[in-house]
Structure 1
């Protein structure tokens, strides 16, 4: 049994909180949010556990083994560095930090402290992305010709995401919030991304995030990578991560749908019925118990951040 303290109870924090509470080997023992009523209400709902508005008090709680940091990116660095100092294992939301310097300092400190440090990159534990990775490994598309990420949003921030920072230039934007998942997948499956050239579209208000991107880059072997997207458009939200190969095409669409086809054939939906990917919480448990685990650590977060900062 591991005891988890959660810092940040917004939409993202609540999502994993619900997964923690139904897991047999996990107990949420403390929660923290600047919104006192939300912290108390959440603690009461979970069974009268400890509620805090000051994260340092949660870190001082000796019952807490693992801290899940689900606050906006600009607060990651201070909280995670304090958690490392307190010798707590850390699960952190993406992106790792609010600057490359912060991300590097966090990755180095976590490594030196010998704690478990993991990022919440949920695509790695989803059926569609796991099948995508498996088919790439099995050479389904043959030699890769081009990798393309497309991100289209009728509105940004999305309806469920309205807050002070997701639409801001400092911490938000769809390149950072959505693009980071697929940058991490690219680094994991295809290796280094380099020679990044980016063109961003911004609104007149200098505090608001990008409304468009067209960027090109290359993998280490020169294979082209295209990243493009727009917000504030007609139609439905669409996110596509597509690998074009000599023998076929694979497209991971809207997080959980996978289509593929051999050259000359139609793209067809690929069944995910037999896929049973690893689960983040199970892998976190393994890591805390000293076993080999499929987690994506702060170094993976730092490498993704390097690409993001060049794109932005």
Structure 2
């Protein structure tokens, strides 16, 4: 007998909430439907009414939780755990935006609570469903790199927040919940952890040149399993709004993920060549989100899936928050 469609409730209609909502509206309705959306901002709800008038607007967070089978939490990070705890208490599954929280101790307590109660939870690190990451895995399996020796991660931004995030500048450029290390760096730390093993921070430095603002540069060294990983991030040193590289280096050659979605391998002459099916992120993102939503449905039904776990997200968060403390 086929499972009933998962009713997805959404808290937060910012950039991430809108992206996943649009993906859910385009998803197979036999798999997943949208129960409704709530955002505490009247302006956000007005925008939702204009953008997507067919979507049910719900009057409170508790009402969204009541109406859904799985709660997607796309609000600012400090609010995540309160919503997630309420959803678990009502027997709902939870799909949470990263970071899981900003309070490491409370996040780890939450993970332990979920383990004891059997709470069904995952975190939205889309590299868990990335076609480009599949390609990197395939190249490594084929022996393109040989035994991997190290990982280099570079992230850079023309400005922070990025141009499409300016509506959320009040928290995205503040130290309490914002900054590019949490918002972007965490994705690549998750990827290193997922591919190569548990993270252990070895050293780090961070710069806060503007009073009250988030970081403008970061450097860190860590291990993922036994592999050394170097991370560097800057604001204002590139003319690209958002640029990133995740490079996997071995004795036979190097491969990398570029700008979120493009898998590349290095030729003997040093040049880089895209995978045949590579797509820029704006075209690849909707495809990846469809994969994520299939896994959200599986999570809700208690079926096997490989979304980022609560424990993985808490591990990444501990590393990020340690870096941010300087």
- The question of a shared fold, defined as TM-score above 0.5 by the shorter chain, is answered with yes
State which drifts further: 105-114 or 295-304: 105-114
Q: Could you say which residue in structure 1 is the equivalent of 2:219?
A: 214
Q: Could you say which residue in structure 2 is the equivalent of 1:27?
A: 33
Cα distance, 1:104 vs structure 2? 0.8
Measured in 1, the distance between the counterparts of 2:35 and 2:225 equals 45
- Root-mean-square deviation (CA, aligned residues, Å) is 2.2
| Pair 1:117 & 2:121 matched | yes
> What does 1:25-64 align with in structure 2 at a 5 Å threshold?
25-39=31-45, 42=48, 45-47=52-54, 49-52=56-59, 54-59=60-65, 61=66, 63-64=67-68
State which drifts further: 21-30 or 238-247: 21-30
TM-score, with length taken from structure 2:
0.87
TM-score, with length taken from structure 1:
0.91
Cα distance, 1:79 vs structure 2? 1.3
Cα distance, 1:101 vs structure 2? 1.0
Residues 128-187 of structure 1, C-alpha deviations (whole Å, 9 max, x = no match)? 122123323443211222211101111000111112111111111111110111100101
Measured in 2, the distance between the counterparts of 1:32 and 1:46 equals 14
2:102–2:321: 8 Å Cα contact kept in structure 1?
A: no
Q: Could you say which residue in structure 2 is the equivalent of 1:185?
A: 191
Residues 107-146 of structure 1, C-alpha deviations (whole Å, 9 max, x = no match)? 1222222232011111222221221233234432112222
Residues 4-63 of structure 1, C-alpha deviations (whole Å, 9 max, x = no match)? 1100011110000001111122221121101235336636835362422x312322x2x3
Measured in 2, the distance between the counterparts of 1:43 and 1:64 equals 20
1:124–1:130: 8 Å Cα contact kept in structure 2?
A: no
Where 1:181 maps in the other structure, the secondary structure is: helix
State which drifts further: 180-189 or 207-216: 207-216
Measured in 1, the distance between the counterparts of 2:206 and 2:171 equals 19
Measured in 2, the distance between the counterparts of 1:246 and 1:262 equals 13
Q: Which runs of 5+ in 2 are unaligned?
A: none
| Pair 1:270 & 2:275 matched | yes
Residues 244-295 of structure 1, C-alpha deviations (whole Å, 9 max, x = no match)? 1111101111001121125555322222369997801111212222322222
Q: Could you say which residue in structure 2 is the equivalent of 1:128?
A: 132
Where 1:9 maps in the other structure, the secondary structure is: coil
| Pair 1:99 & 2:126 matched | no
Q: Which runs of 5+ in 1 are unaligned?
A: none
Cα distance change of structure 1 residues 224 and 297 upon mapping to structure 2, 3 Å threshold: closer
- The structure 1 residue matched to 2:208, chosen from 202, 206, 211, is 202
Cα distance change of structure 1 residues 46 and 285 upon mapping to structure 2, 3 Å threshold: farther
| Pair 1:139 & 2:146 matched | no
Measured in 2, the distance between the counterparts of 1:9 and 1:246 equals 46
Where 1:144 maps in the other structure, the secondary structure is: coil
| Pair 1:76 & 2:80 matched | yes
Measured in 1, the distance between the counterparts of 2:238 and 2:267 equals 31
Q: Could you say which residue in structure 2 is the equivalent of 1:297?
A: 309
Cα distance, 1:83 vs structure 2? 1.4
Higher helix residue share: 2
